[in-house]
Structure formats: C-alpha cells, structure tokens
Amino acid sequence: MAVLRIRPTPFFDNKNRAFWNLQLAGWGGAFLLRAMSTLANGLPLDLLAVILVTTITGFSISLVLSVIYRQLISKQPLVTWGMTGVVLVGAVILHGSIDAWVQGIYYAGTSETTFAQRFIGLSYLPLTLLGGWSALYYAINYFLTVEQQADRLERLEAQATSAQLAMLRYQLNPHFLFNTLNSISTLVLLKQTEPANAMLTRLSGFLRHTLVVDPGSQVTLKQEVETLYLYLDIERMRFEERLRTHFAIEDEALKARLPSMLLQPLIENSIKYAVSPQEEGASITLSARVVGGRLKISVEDTGPGTDRAIPDDMADFNTGKPGGTMSTQVGLANIRNRLAQAYGQDHRFETHSNPAGGFSVLIEIPFEPDAPSAVQSLDAAENAATRADHQSGTAMKPAGAMSVTPPEPGTAPGTAIGSNA
C-alpha cells in the first residue's frame, strides 16, 4: 500500500490566511487572558460582556490599521514611521474612548468617575495591545519582504550558476577543435577518406555528447570514463603511439556521481602540455578510489612538469604548434569553479608539478553513489568487456581494482570500463 508523503506547507505560504489565523489567535488570546484574570479575582461574570466588547473593538480597529499600514509600509521611512505614529495615536484614542464609554454604561450609578478619568485609566490597555499589534505587523511584513528578496537572490544566483556551468561546459579548447579539424582536412587532402571519416564521426559523437548532457547535471564516473574514451579516440588518431594512457579505477568508484565533463579538461591539459611538446610523447594515468566516504581522483602525466600557471600569449595557435609547457590555466580554473559551486568547501583540488618531470592533479569530493535504478549493471559491462576482449585477443586483469588501457580507435567504449570484480 502506497503511503503519501506529508509535506508541511510554510505558515506564510498564504499571507491572507496567515493574517487571519494570527488575528484570531492574538485577539482570542487577549480575551481569554482578561477573562481568566476576571474569574481569578472573583469579579462578576457579566463583566465578561464588557471585555468581549472591548476585544471586538480592538479587533475591528486593527483591521482598519492593517489597511492603512499596507499603504504606508512601501513609503519612505520618514513618512512610514511618522504617519504610523499619528495613526496609532488616533487608534488608541478611539479605542480608549469606546472602552471608557462602555465602562461608564456598565458602572452607571455605582461609580462617580468621569469620562476623562475612565479614559486616562483605561488608555494603557489599548496602547499596549495596538502598539504591540503594530510592531508585530511591521516586523512580520519586513521579515517576509527580506525572505522574498533572499529567495529572489537565491533564484538569481542559481540562474547565474547554471549559466556559468553552461559556459564552463560548452567551452571547448580551440586548440583541440582546430587541430582535429586540421587533421581531418589533411586526411581528406591525402585522399585517406576512411580514417578521415572515422575521425569526423568520433568528433561529432563527442561534440553531440557535450551538447546533449545537461550542463548542471551529474553523471557516474563510469559514464564520465566512457566520454573520455570518445575524446581519446580522436586524440589517439593524431598522436598515435605518442599518447599512452592507463586507467586504474576501483569498481566501487565507478558508481560515484560527479559533475559531467569534469575530467576531460584534465586529460586535454595533459595531452596539450605533456604529450604534444615531446617527440617521445608521454603517459597519462587516471586513477580513482573510494576512501572513507570520499572519492579521490588523480590525473598524472610524465610531461616536462614545469609550471603551468604562467600565461602564454597563444602565439603558436595559428600555426598549430605546441605552445610549450606554459598554460593559461583556464581549464584548471573552470574545474576549480565547478567544484566550488557543486560542493562548496567540501572538496579538495590540488595540483603538483615536479621540476624533474611530471604534473598531477588531485580531486577529492564526497562519495555519492548513484541510485540502484540508475546505475548500469556492472555485470553487463563486464560481459560486454569480456566478449570484446575475446574478439581482440586481450586478456582480462585479475580481480580487484580496474586497471585498463583505453582501447585503440574503433573499439567500443564498453571494452575499457568492464568491471573485473
């Protein structure tokens, strides 16, 4: 039997209903307090009728005050508080006059007090009640105004964050796109239509994936790795054996959720500043593991290892030549911003450079496993990987952490992410 979840509605979600609830509760409580005081002091029961009349009087006057205050609250502070004081004094005089008149009728023939004496003696009560009511009215409305402004600011910040995430996700390194298209053009000029078509197909697949995935969405690490294979298929056709990659990912880490397209800029950064400048190329290692409820991801390369924080002038872009080992660090800054937006202070992002060679990036975020219904079956992935390995003659690794080398161009992405557990 399905159980409907009860979701509490905020008290001020309906301002009109909240006003009447507070109005009835407040004046009802005032009446009960005065009635209990009357009974506790042994006063006549018919005095409750007088208390009821004065309470109804205050209730009615407060309704008039709410209409006036609603107009004053949006004025300049000097006008608001000045007019509020004048209106409140008039309301207290009216309430006190009605109370004095009612008391005069009730005590007619038994008391010789004048109207002025009764008014002065009773005015403290309407002053207290109406003064407190006015203070609560303005306090609640100012609170609601601040809350609305905070909600509006939060929505604007969310929209700005979404727009920034979209900008970060849709930002494609011009070197990558330029070099890929240039390679395709070269293959076409050499009439090597088959590799040119393969490279174009992989490029379109990669670009289609980057546009289809919601910029602010999260994917599993397994899906992120599959995207990396699409990208590496393209780069491997350019660099061939100069590009050597190795993935060491624990099976449990494959289920972790992280912002989409988070790791591609790191791999691209290593290719650009480690593989491209060196004739012998370089090795790139991506590792991921879960430790103490945290997902730890590292990307390391065997490049020159010099400081990549020094900006370059992009002078070699038009020639397609490597720009050395210096970097504008745009990709790293984007990743740092995305992590801050997604996890606040609950993340770790570090870069390490070794002058003797090698550059590494460490990312640590909370481990958030994907829902069972959304996680792709790792057994199915293992079966697919096993079949592909049999076809390609590749032996599976022993059980334990996944340690694979990305497939050669044309191999299905599922081949490289099979679970070995």
Mean pLDDT of 6-34: 83
| pLDDT tier, 317 (very low <50, low <70, confident <90, very high otherwise) | very low
**Dihedral sign, Cα of residue 41, residue 47, residue 48, residue 51:** negative
- pLDDT score of 311 more than 60: no
CB 400 within 8 A of CB 248: no
- pLDDT score of 406 more than 80: no
Mean pLDDT of 307-316: 40
User: What CATH architecture does domain 171-417 belong to?
Assistant: 2-Layer Sandwich (3.30)
Determine the Cα–Cα distance for residues 96 and 43; give it in Å rounded to an integer.
22
Mean pLDDT of 304-333: 47
Model's pTM, two decimal places? 0.53
Mean pLDDT of 149-167: 79
Over the stretch 57-104, which tens digit does the pLDDT of each residue have?
999 999 999 999 999 988 898 999 999 999 999 999 999 999 889 888
At 216 the pLDDT is: 64
Identify the residue with better confidence: 175 or 289. Answer: 289
- pLDDT score of 121 more than 90: no
CB 297 within 8 A of CB 362: yes
At 319 the pLDDT is: 33
List the domain boundaries for the chain: 12-158, 171-417
- pLDDT score of 348 more than 90: yes
3 conformational bin, left if phi > 0, alpha if psi -120 to 50, beta if neither: beta
Mean pLDDT of 279-285: 92
At 377 the pLDDT is: 41
